[in-house]
């Protein structure tokens, strides 16, 4: 057992209000610079919708992530040979139109325009050319319009839905959408790391944060196309790739990442997960529909004496193990099984997990009135967001996996409703308790609704000065496209 510790996250989508405070915090902290205008290391998109950059989930277009026939694992964009051929021209990059042309407004005109009959206006101007533009796209262009035909119809995750399901989704009176905050997943099997010809991207051994060494980066941009989540960006001003750094300077000085600190909906949880690095390759080759469960199986129980002993042998310190035992992420993902990775079929083993949105499936509308008392497990079949769509997003298309999560979430909601309002039938309460027992339902409710920042975010103190720097990668397949990719070992904290 090769135990690693990773700082990982859960985003509770029922709590996200789509305020974009997280995105703005990140922009002010890290990407308010020349060449980074169009970058949103953290963005929030409306789903169903095409997202940012548009159609990022369509891997036919950008060849991101890994592919596997069950026996081998290789980057969708190709191995070392192809990467060499494309080194001076990468054909799989998103274009500026896929992102948007960043713009600002001529605010000065509001103050300095000569006196006239009309109100002065601030015209939009391109932040790249400085010339006036007519904006046609933006990082959240389809905000709150995700359910509308115009945008939602092009969502790649609608693949496989019947015409009837699509009609149900787009019918104006039933239109439903939710917000999906996204940042780099700091994946276990990061495609960006494996694709880099310069070995500039690496995963820190001590906490799993994936970083771009700016001195080594040569701007080949293989990472931009290889990341299936499109969370590496090219800075056209300095000629280097950049990405979310999980606010490591803040984390190392005892602060939490900016987007977590500022999250208005308190949807973000952060904590240590332990996993067995020896299983990365075999897990990443598993059929798509089994990947979400297989990734959950890789996560180790931090209270298991065998795991503790193996973790100590791997150099993981006691205070990291202590933090792992108090990890809210472990509870959501492993104990309660209500958080799933986004698009596990990309095979990067992402380390942000999502509690899928419950809201659209619970209330039953009768004569135009939402009747919560009528809500029960049967409401799952009448979900306004088709389960197949949610399965495409969070379970590699496995509807049984997503149904199991929803049954647990509904069981918690029914028990809380019974406790606080008292209008749930006794038979439904009993059925709910068989799904999730009363103690666990209370714990899930507490963690979802009542916790303080200290319980939502549990990080061990970092002593960066004690860390061991990168050594040769132990997973030879990581070098399939890069040349001598490195991964730091688990560090003695």
Using the minimum distance from each CB to ligand SF4, give the nearer residue, 352 or 412. Answer: 352
Closest alpha carbon to 413 in 444, 456, 369: 444
Rule CB under 6 A: choose which of 210, 294, 308, 390 binds ligand SF4: 210
Number of residues that bind ligand SF4 (CB under 6 A): 28
Residue nearest to ligand SF4 (CB): 265
- Min separation Cβ 378 and ligand SF4, Å: 30
Are the C-beta atoms of 214 and 11 separated by less than 8 Å?
Answer: no
> What is the C-alpha to C-alpha distance for residues 79 and 250, in angstroms, rounded to an integer?
36
Are the C-beta atoms of 453 and 447 separated by less than 8 Å?
Answer: no
> What is the C-alpha to C-alpha distance for residues 356 and 18, in angstroms, rounded to an integer?
15
Element (H, E) at 430: helix 426-435
- Min separation Cβ 111 and ligand SF4, Å: 32
Rule CB under 6 A: choose which of 22, 200, 277, 410 binds ligand SF4: 22
The total number of residues shown for the chain amounts to: 493
Rule CB under 6 A: choose which of 7, 8, 9, 20 binds ligand SF4: 20
> What is the C-alpha to C-alpha distance for residues 63 and 390, in angstroms, rounded to an integer?
22
Check binding of 16 to ligand SF4 (CB under 6 A): yes
Stretch that binds ligand SF4, among 2-10, 93-101, 180-188, 454-462 (CB under 6 A): 180-188
Using the minimum distance from each CB to ligand SF4, give the nearer residue, 161 or 196. Answer: 196
Using the minimum distance from each CB to ligand SF4, give the nearer residue, 207 or 428. Answer: 207
Check binding of 240 to ligand SF4 (CB under 6 A): no
> What is the C-alpha to C-alpha distance for residues 245 and 180, in angstroms, rounded to an integer?
20
Three-state SS at 51 = coil
Check binding of 243 to ligand SF4 (CB under 6 A): yes
Check binding of 229 to ligand SF4 (CB under 6 A): yes
Rule CB under 6 A: choose which of 51, 53, 181, 482 binds ligand SF4: 181
Two tokens, residue 351:
């380390």
> What is the C-alpha to C-alpha distance for residues 11 and 275, in angstroms, rounded to an integer?
20
> What is the C-alpha to C-alpha distance for residues 45 and 411, in angstroms, rounded to an integer?
28
Check binding of 334 to ligand SF4 (CB under 6 A): no
Check binding of 295 to ligand SF4 (CB under 6 A): no
What does each C-alpha distance from 198 to 194, 220, 262, 473, 488 come to in angstroms? 10, 8, 35, 14, 16
Stretch that binds ligand SF4, among 101-109, 111-119, 176-184, 401-409 (CB under 6 A): 176-184
Check binding of 209 to ligand SF4 (CB under 6 A): no
Rule CB under 6 A: choose which of 227, 316, 340, 414 binds ligand SF4: 227
The runs of H, that is alpha helices, within 262-395 are: 280-284, 291-298, 305-313, 318-325, 328-330, 359-362, 387-394
Using the minimum distance from each CB to ligand SF4, give the nearer residue, 264 or 425. Answer: 264
Check binding of 264 to ligand SF4 (CB under 6 A): yes
Check binding of 395 to ligand SF4 (CB under 6 A): no
CB burial class (10 A; 0-12, 13-18, 19+) of residue 289?
middle
Site for ligand SF4 in 102-161 (CB under 6 A): none
User: Which residues sit at the interface with ligand SF4, rule CB under 6 A?
Assistant: 16-22, 44, 179, 181, 184-187, 190-192, 210, 227, 229, 231-232, 243, 263-265, 267, 348
């Amino acid at each position: 057992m090769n135990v690693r510790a990773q700082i990982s996250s859960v985003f509770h989508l029922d709590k996200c209000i789509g305020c974009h405070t997280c995105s703005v915090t990140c922009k002010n902290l890290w990407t308010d610079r020349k060449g980074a205008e169009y970058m949103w290391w953290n963005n929030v998109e409306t789903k169903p919708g095409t997202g940012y950059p548009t159609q990022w989930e369509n891997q036919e277009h950008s060849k991101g992530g890994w592919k596997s026939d069950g026996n081998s694992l290789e980057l969708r964009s190709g191995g070392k040979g192809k990467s060499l051929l494309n080194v001076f021209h990468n054909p799989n990059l998103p274009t500026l139109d896929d992102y948007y042309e960043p713009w600002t407004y001529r605010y000065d005109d509001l103050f300095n325009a000569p006196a006239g009959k009309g109100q002065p206006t601030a015209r939009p101007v391109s932040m790249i050319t400085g010339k006036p533009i007519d904006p046609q796209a933006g990082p959240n262009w389809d905000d709150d319009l995700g359910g509308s035909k115009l945008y939602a119809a092009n969502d790649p995750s609608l693949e496989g839905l019947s015409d009837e399901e699509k009609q149900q989704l787009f019918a104006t009176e039933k239109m439903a959408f939710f917000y999906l905050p996204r940042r780099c997943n700091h994946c276990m099997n990061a495609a960006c790391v494996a694709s880099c010809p310069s070995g500039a991207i690496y995963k820190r051994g001590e906490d799993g944060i994936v970083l771009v060494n700016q001195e080594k980066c040569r701007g080949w941009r293989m990472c931009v196309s290889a990341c299936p989540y499109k969370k590496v960006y090219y800075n056209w001003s300095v000629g280097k790739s950049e990405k979310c750094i999980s606010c490591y300077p803040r984390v190392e000085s005892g602060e939490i990442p900016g987007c977590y600190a500022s999250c208005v909906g308190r949807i973000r949880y952060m904590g240590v997960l332990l996993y067995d690095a020896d299983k990365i390759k075999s897990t990443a080759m598993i059929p798509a529909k089994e990947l979400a469960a297989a990734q959950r199986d890789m996560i180790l129980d931090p209270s298991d004496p065998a795991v503790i002993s193996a973790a100590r042998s791997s150099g993981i310190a006691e205070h990291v193990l202590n933090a792992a035992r108090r990890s809210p992420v472990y509870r959501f993902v492993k104990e309660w099984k209500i958080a799933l990775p986004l698009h596990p079929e990309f095979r990067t083993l992402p380390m942000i997990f999502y509690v899928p949105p419950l809201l659209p499936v619970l209330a039953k509308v009768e004569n135009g009135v939402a009747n919560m008392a009528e809500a029960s497990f049967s409401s799952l079949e009448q979900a306004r967001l088709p389960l197949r769509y949610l399965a495409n997003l969070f379970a590699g298309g496995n509807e049984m996996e997503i149904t199991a999560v929803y049954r647990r979430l509904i069981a918690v909601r029914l028990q809380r409703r019974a406790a606080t309002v008292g209008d749930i039938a006794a038979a439904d309460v009993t059925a709910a308790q068989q799904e999730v027992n009363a103690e666990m339902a209370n714990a899930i409710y507490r963690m979802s609704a009542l916790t303080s920042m200290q319980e939502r975010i549990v990080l061990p103190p970092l002593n960066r000065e004690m860390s061991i720097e990168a050594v040769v990668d132990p997973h030879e397949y990581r070098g399939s496209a890069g040349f001598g990719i490195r991964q730091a070992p688990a560090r003695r904290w």
